[in-house]
Every structure is written in C-alpha cells, then in structure tokens.
C-alpha cells in the first residue's frame, strides 16, 4: 500500500534547481516502486546454522547509486519517512518465503520508530519473527518517545538491534538507553581483524560489554575464512557477510 498521502510534506518555498532534481528523483522512485528487497543470511558461528535474514533495499533506477544515498536524499526533500515505509512494506512481504523459525531483520530509523504509521504496517505481522535494526545515521536527543514506541512492539515479541556499532554517532548511548537484544559490529571494525591485534582487542571488549546486558553480538562484513575464525574465537554469536552468503533478491532465494 503506497504511503504517499496528503501528509507528505509540501515543497519548501522557491526550491532551488538541485532540490527540485532530488525531489523529482525520489517521487519517481516511490511512484514507480523502483526498488526491491534483497535478503542476506545471518548464521550462528558455533554451529554454522542460519538463524535469520536481513532485508536490504536495492534501488533499480539508473544511474546506479547506493541505497544510503537514496535514503539521505529522501530525507533532504522531506520524503524520508515515506521511503522507509514503502521499502519496509516490500521487505515484510518476503517474510512468508522463509521458514517460521527464521527471523527477519529490517533497518529502521529513530524517526520511523516514533511514526504511528509504522504500527499500522506491523499490525498483521508476526512480531516475534522481527528484529528491528536501529540505523545509526542521526543522533537521538530524547530516548523517551523511542522507548515508548518500542514498548508495544517488544511486548508482541519483536527484538531490537543496534546497527553499525563502531561507525556511528552514539552507539553506546543507544545500547545503554534501549538495552538491545543484538549489537551489530560494523564491517569497519571486523575488516582484517585477523591481521590487527588492536581491532581484535576492541571487539573482545565489546563482547564482554554485551555479556553484561545479556545481549548477543553480530559481526558484519565477514569475507575471508581467517577473519571468520578470529571472530569465532572472540566469542561472536552471529556472523554475516559475503563469505557466508550474499544478499539475494526474492526470485533468487526461491530458486
């Protein structure tokens, strides 16, 4: 169901040409629904079993630009929430493709978590199969609205992850205030960890920190076997990366 509506913010007065071009691109993207959901597996590192999949947006407009550029531009022109809702709806549509014991992780911003339309979108979804990954692109000044918005979802069984730990604004504040079920260590920390003792020490510290909260650790960006073995030795719970499985579109997962 499209989320473009009368609530969509009006253009700012006398926008410049660059703004109009960005806005036009985002409107085209949303109206044509020129995006798909790809799904990347997450594995337990102790037994190499798949436990869930993360949904990643793939934009099909040309010229190619990474999804984070599209989302950033959408927020710049006042259409960020609409883009999040549209892409989330597509991601959730893939949940029925996977066995019921697998969870689906979806990326969400702090802004969308406090938007009432998210609750409507998730009404008919089995929340116990959802992991809401809080993206780390904007700081949070007041956690009370965020905590209130998350409470009914968590009561329904939804779990929460802090994404990109080690690469954002206020990861530790998010962890301390929201008590997530998962901490996802950014690929910038796990890259070449088997060759860098300081990175290994930092990740080991994060593992110990997480254990005090009963939180599980996911390592992103696993690309080579020595890296995987190092992370396994550090006590990482889950892994994700090209070595273990690339993101696949729905038609590819079905085959």
**pLDDT tens-digit series, residues 5-37:** 434 555 555 568 889 999 999 999 999 999 999
63 preceded by cis ω (within 30°)?
Answer: yes
Number of H helices, E strands in the chain: 11, 9
Structural domains in the chain, CATH included, are 36-58+81-254 (3.20.20.450)
Strands 103-108 and 238-239, bridge-based pairing:
unpaired
- Looking at the predicted structure, is the pLDDT value of residue 107 above 90? yes
Secondary structure element (H or E) that encloses residue 36, with its range: strand 35-44
Q: What are phi and psi of 102, to 5 degrees?
A: -95, 140
Q: What is the mean pLDDT of the chain?
A: 89
Q: How far apart are the C-alpha atoms of 157 and 150, rounded to whole Å?
A: 11
pLDDT in tens, 173-216: 888 899 999 999 999 999 999 999 999 999 999 999 999 889 99
Contact criterion met (CB below 8 Å) for 231 and 187: no
The separation between CA 81 and the C-alpha centre of its own chain, rounded to angstroms, equals 15
| Helix, strand, or coil (residue 99) | coil
pLDDT attached to residue 13: 55
Q: pTM of the prediction?
A: 0.89
Q: What are phi and psi of 19, to 5 degrees?
A: -65, -45
Q: How confident is the model at residue 255 (pLDDT cuts 50, 70, 90)?
A: very low
Exposure of 85 in the CB half-sphere (CA atoms within 13 A): 22
Quote the Cα angle for 246-194-247, to 5°.
5
Q: How far apart are the C-alpha atoms of 243 and 61, rounded to whole Å?
A: 28
């Amino acid at each position: 169901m499209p989320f473009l509506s009368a609530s969509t913010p009006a253009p700012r007065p006398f926008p410049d040409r660059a703004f109009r071009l960005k806005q036009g691109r985002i409107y085209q993207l949303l109206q044509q629904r020129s995006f798909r959901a790809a799904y990347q597996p997450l594995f337990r590192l102790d037994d190499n079993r798949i436990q869930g999949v993360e949904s990643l947006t793939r934009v099909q407009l040309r010229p190619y630009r990474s999804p984070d550029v599209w989302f950033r531009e959408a927020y710049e022109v006042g259409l960020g929430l609409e883009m999040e809702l549209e892409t989330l709806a597509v991601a959730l549509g893939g949940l029925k493709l996977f066995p019921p014991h697998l969870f689906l992780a979806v990326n969400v911003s702090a802004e969308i978590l406090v938007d009432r339309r998210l609750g409507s979108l998730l009404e008919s979804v089995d929340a116990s199969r959802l992991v809401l990954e809080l993206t780390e692109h904007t700081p949070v000044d007041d956690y009370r609205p965020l905590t209130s918005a998350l409470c009914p979802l968590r009561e329904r069984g939804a779990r929460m992850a802090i994404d990109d730990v080690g690469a954002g604004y206020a990861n530790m504040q998010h962890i301390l205030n929201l008590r997530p079920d998962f901490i996802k260590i950014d690929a910038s920390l796990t890259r070449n960890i088997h060759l860098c003792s300081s990175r290994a020490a930092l990740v080991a510290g994060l593992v110990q920190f997480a254990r005090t909260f009963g939180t599980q650790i996911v390592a992103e960006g696993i690309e080579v076997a020595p890296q995987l073995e190092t992370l396994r030795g550090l006590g990482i719970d889950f892994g994700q990366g090209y070595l273990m499985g690339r993101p696949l579109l729905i038609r590819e997962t079905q085959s």
